[in-house]
Amino acid sequence: MLSVTDIQKILPHRYPFLLVDRITDLKKDEYVIGYKNISISEPVFQGHFPDHPIYPGVMILEGMAQAGGILAFQSMDMSEEEAAQKVVYFMSIDGAKFRAPVKPGDKLEYRMTVNKHKGAIWVLEGKAYVDDILVSEAELKAMIVDK
């Protein structure tokens, strides 16, 4: 399990763009499970939408990507110093689907599985759930590069 403090040692993202609160399970080179608690105090709800707050799909995809980045970094057995010199870049997002709205008060769980990994390239199957109901899915391709 990784706390938000541990996550900040791996990812360069910070508030308001760090979209993973905790990692609850991780098996190197296979999968990661983590979550974000969706709060009405998220800055995005000021404009999306003031009278009907819905967490944007693009933020769900970014959260999946961040969880996937954590999986990639942990799988590569890098030191904190080595990881600090790297960043994960999106290469593609395929088959993105949004099946149900995510609202304030929801616990958004990311479940990322490795489809392929070769060198610095990772292809991940991402699924996001609220109360074990699938709310979003996509295939994400990313590359770990030097900063």
pLDDT in tens, 1-35: 999 999 999 999 999 999 999 999 999 999 999 99
CB 60 within 8 A of CB 102: yes
pLDDT at position 78 is: 80
Domains of the chain: 4-146 (3.10.129.10)
Q: What is the mean pLDDT of the chain?
A: 96
CB 100 within 8 A of CB 130: yes
Q: Assess whether pLDDT exceeds 90 at residue 108.
A: yes
- Give which of 146, 137, 135, 13 is closest to 70, Cα–Cα: 13
DSSP strand E in 51-120: where? 86-98, 107-118
Q: Assess whether pLDDT exceeds 90 at residue 48.
A: yes
pLDDT at position 95 is: 98
52 labelled catalytic: no
Instruction: Give me the mean pLDDT over the 89-94 stretch.
Output: 95
Q: Which of 13, 48, 52, 117 is catalytic?
A: 48
pLDDT at position 24 is: 98
What is the C-alpha separation between 144 and 94, in angstroms, rounded? 19
